[in-house]
Amino acid sequence: MRVGCGPGCVLVEAAVHRELHREVPPRVEYSPTEAGASLDKALLPLGDRGEEHVDHITAARGL
């Protein structure tokens, strides 16, 4: 997963497992690692806050 990765690449690799199936056409499956699953739990409150304030956020963006 190094192609086109920037400084955040290590974080992504720690949170997401990438499995490449050598088929035609190529198929890639992504799944959370244990670290990724714990990030999901940590970020749920942030998502909840966004959902609670979506009208305010949309208005502030002029959408």
Burial class (CB in 10 A: 0-12, 13-18, 19+), 36: middle
C-alpha angle with apex 26: 20 to 29, nearest 5 degrees?
40
pLDDT means over runs of 10, the chain (63 residues): 56 81 93 89 91 91 83
Supply 13's token pair: 């690799």
> Has this prediction a pTM greater than 0.85?
no
Measured CA distances, 15 to 21, 23, 33, 50, 61 (Å): 20, 25, 5, 22, 30
pLDDT at site 62: 85
